[in-house]
Amino acid sequence: MSIPARSNPPPAIAGAAGDDVCPDAVVAFDAALQLVHANRAAAALAGQPPAALAGLDAARLMSLGLLAEPVGTRLAEVRSSATAQRVQARDAFGGGAGRWYDVWIVPRADGGVTCYARDISDMKDAEERLRASAGRDSLTGLLNHAAFHDAVSRALATSGPDAPDVALVLFDLDYLKLINDVHGHQTGDEALRRVAEALRATTRDVDVVARLGGDEFAALFVGLDRERVQRIAQRAVARIGATMLPGVGRLSVSAGIAFVASTREPGDLFDRADAAVYDAKARGRGVASVADMTEIACASRRRDVTEDLPPPPPPDLPNARDVVTAARGALREWVHVLACSGGCVDLLDTRTQAVKAVAYYRFGHDDWKLAEQTYALADYPDTARALALGQTYSCRVDDPEVDPAEAALLRQRGFASMLLTPLVSAGRPIGIIELFDTRARVFTSTDQRVAMALAHHLAPLLALLQERDGASA
């Protein structure tokens, strides 16, 4: 950002009587670019009396450090073009203090030029503070999302055999929503600050640490081997786990570590670190997981759920007067249980050839709605197959194997990943429940087992309400 010191060049007057009381530095050169006048302010900057400067040409002044190169190199241009130029430079007329000056170089009728320099160091300092604050998270003082992504892109820009190793660690503060709900947002904010302090204490000064937003933090490591990165991540997780918050207890973070692949793509690095975070959460939270390329690639594809899981308690649906109310109540609980961004319940039509969204919920947006459209199952074969087989199905928009129609619908709804679970009652499919995430998430086998168990509770209730609604129609 540039803060102009003047909007127009000053009049070209060299050696005027008012120069010596002017706070701005003024120097004048003749047609041969030899100095013919310096006011008191300019002489003070140079540390020389005006008489000692007279007759020195621009090249000599630059060699002595008494004329900044950006100013000296423009004198001849202004003289020949007879057009004023403006430049901002440090130590315009010497001094060595590193102060910034806004300099107008103005041609004169006699072929010479006059320079007027105003000290703008305070303005430059304000610009720098503003620029620095724009890249910082206001709560924690760490870098923010945009600044961190820029740092990652710069770190990955170097390629070839000499490119440095790059590692990304994502940290999710566990149970932040519960802390906010039970203890208030001020306590939640304090928890976030404590995590930031722990990350500063366990990383090096050269490491890049940021709060990406919400409960998510990140650290970027360049030129470190894998073992050292893992030790730092585990040390950070342990330090946060030992942090006590009054009234709350010990904090906990789940960390995902990813090392740069041959593609050196930022998106790939974030995806794999994110997948490792979900693996850490599936392992019980409060641990660090390393993204393994083979495991993540396998996990990102469709998976069938066959393991038995002890059923969780059924959703509390005291106001389940109709299908829509029951479905929406279940969605709210599912989104929280599986830490998703939103979801919808789609019911089969009477011919079992299409589904229609009857209830939807998006975390933090009570008025959010999906278009009440009917989707032909023939257009979405993977969904149809999962429904027919009674199996879960997950997809991500960045998965090259995902059906294009499924990916397009997911993007249209504003999400990056989905977990689909069939609703089956008395052996008969009645619909599906879709859980969405705005991140390209890998839904773990534990996520799928929990979703299937919850569906077993919801499906009979929806079937009963459908029959009741049909009988009363």
Instruction: Quote the CA–CA distance of 331 and 337 in Å, as a whole number.
Output: 10
Which segments of 11-149 are extended strands (E)?
25-29, 35-38, 85-90, 100-107, 113-119
- pLDDT value for 14: 41
- pLDDT value for 343: 85
Q: What's the rounded mean pLDDT across residues 1-13?
A: 42
- pLDDT value for 75: 94
Q: What's the rounded mean pLDDT across residues 97-101?
A: 87
- pLDDT value for 251: 92
- Average pLDDT of the chain, as a whole number: 81
User: Would you place residue 34 in the very low, low, confident or very high pLDDT band (cuts 50, 70, 90)?
Assistant: very high
- How confident is the model over 407-427, as pLDDT tens digits? 888 888 888 889 999 998 888
8 Å CB contact between 202 and 305: no
User: Would you place residue 462 in the very low, low, confident or very high pLDDT band (cuts 50, 70, 90)?
Assistant: confident
Token reading at 368:
């959010």
Choose from 89-98, 112-121, 344-353, 375-384 the range with maximum mean pLDDT: 112-121
- pLDDT value for 309: 40
Which segments of 48-145 are extended strands (E)?
85-90, 100-107, 113-119
- Answer yes or no: is pLDDT of 25 > 60: yes
- Answer yes or no: is pLDDT of 444 > 60: yes
For 192, the enclosing helix (H) or strand (E) is helix 185-202
CA dist 339 → 116, 144, 178, 335, 351 (Å): 62, 23, 12, 6, 34
- pLDDT value for 372: 62
- pLDDT value for 293: 41
- pLDDT value for 164: 84
Q: What's the rounded mean pLDDT across residues 75-102?
A: 89
- pLDDT value for 183: 86
Calculate the CA 99 to chain-centre distance: 34
Q: Residues of the chain with pLDDT > 90: what percent?
A: 28
- Answer yes or no: is pLDDT of 13 > 70: no
- How confident is the model over 236-275, as pLDDT tens digits? 999 999 999 988 888 999 999 999 865 577 887 888 898 8
List residues bridging with 170 in a β-sheet: 218, 256
Backbone CA torsion sign across 463, 467, 470, 472: negative
- Answer yes or no: is pLDDT of 229 > 90: yes
- Answer yes or no: is pLDDT of 160 > 70: no
pTM score, whole prediction: 0.45
For 220, the enclosing helix (H) or strand (E) is strand 216-222
8 Å CB contact between 168 and 152: yes
Backbone CA torsion sign across 29, 34, 36, 39: positive
